[in-house]
Amino acid sequence: MEGLEAHPVLLYDGDCRFCAEQAERLRRWAGGGVELESFRAPGVLARHPQVSAAACEEAMQLVLPDGRVLAGAAAVAHLLGLRPLLRPLARLYAVPGLHALADAVYRLVAKNRFRLGGRTCREGTCAAHGRR
């Protein structure tokens, strides 16, 4: 079907060094079974109209082949579940107390992502805006 991806697509913040590193790590852990795209790249959000820029600012978004979207820790759990060896770890996300804890930790990390790794800007755009 047109518009459906063969693999899930992970939308991450390409201007965040920490985010880019973690997205690549998740791609490896998922056995390469996920496409990575910076939501800031031209045309990316247009290809995924079910995802808003505001949602991407809050958490990484995983667009599944059927068009459903998982965000944050739920996206991480889904990607870990793609590898049989990591599937037991992914199942921990379904545990009610751990589910809430994982979501809270994810929100804290996402809120402070630029402090963790800094910004990665193309063509010096961060310097032009006084960012580092």
Domain locations in the chain?
A: 9-126
Q: What is the pLDDT of residues 23-62, one digit of tens each?
A: 999 999 988 889 999 999 999 999 999 999 999 999 999 9
Query: Whats the size of the chain, residue-wise?
Result: 132
Q: Between these two residues, 99 and 8, which has the higher pLDDT value?
A: 8
